[in-house]
């Protein structure tokens, strides 16, 4: 055997015996501790994000079709309204005003101080027709509703599938303190994966 082969052979024996020594002496314990520490930190960060920033929600019902469908899974941003106001067109999740154990998801149509009126299914804000590109014509109902002035800190919300939605036309505006998130991302089913406008 050549000198080079001998050296390589000896170093292979040394490295395997060194690994055995580390295992038997417990020096792999720091590696395990480091791995557990990293996993714990990751879980803590994920917990903070879920508790304070984003929350997964399951859509139940058809009132937001075609944008959101029954049994779809979405993330809502729970922190966004600490930084910015609720805007017209936002898809929001809120506690139902007459049973706060239930949550609803609807689109914001009317803002505080505005006058909302529905004429044959068309929405008018302060006398001007609201352009609603998200409404599919066959989902629009043809009902009319008397004008309503939205009180301070309340919002008029409607489902996009107007002829199957229980919304502000039935129970009035939603107080801002009941709104707890903005729908931002569909994550299930995978073929509908994507951000919500």
What's the maximum distance between 2 C-alpha atoms anywhere in the chain?
100
Q: From CA 30, how far away is CA 34, in angstroms rounded?
A: 6
Q: From CA 146, how far away is CA 57, in angstroms rounded?
A: 33
Q: CB-based contacts of 71: which residues, under 8 Å, 6+ apart?
A: 58, 59, 60
72: β partners: none
* Cβ pair 167, 63 in contact under 8 A: yes
Q: CB-based contacts of 166: which residues, under 8 Å, 6+ apart?
A: 63, 104, 159
Return the half-sphere exposure (C-beta side, CA atoms, 13 A cut-off) of residue 183: 26
Q: From CA 165, how far away is CA 18, in angstroms rounded?
A: 70
Active site residues: 63, 106
């Amino acid at each position: 055997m050549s000198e080079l082969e001998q050296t390589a052979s000896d170093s292979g024996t040394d490295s395997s015996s060194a690994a055995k020594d580390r295992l038997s002496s417990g020096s792999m314990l720091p590696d395990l501790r480091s791995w557990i520490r990293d996993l714990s930190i990751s879980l803590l960060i994920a917990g903070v994000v879920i508790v304070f920033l984003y929350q997964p929600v399951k859509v139940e019902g058809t009132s937001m079709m075609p944008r959101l469908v029954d049994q779809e899974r979405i993330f809502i941003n729970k922190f966004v309204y600490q930084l910015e106001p609720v805007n017209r067109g936002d898809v929001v999740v809120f506690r139902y005003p007459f049973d706060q154990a239930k949550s609803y998801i609807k689109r914001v149509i009317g803002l505080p101080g505005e006058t909302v009126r529905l004429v044959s299914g068309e929405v008018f804000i302060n006398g001007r027709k609201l352009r609603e590109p998200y409404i599919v014509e066959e989902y629009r109902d043809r009902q009319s509703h008397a004008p309503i002035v939205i009180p301070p800190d309340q919002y008029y919300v409607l489902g996009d599938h107007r002829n199957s939605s229980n919304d502000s036309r039935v129970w009035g505006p939603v107080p801002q303190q009941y709104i707890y998130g903005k729908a931002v991302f569909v994550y299930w089913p995978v073929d509908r994966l994507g951000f919500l406008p």
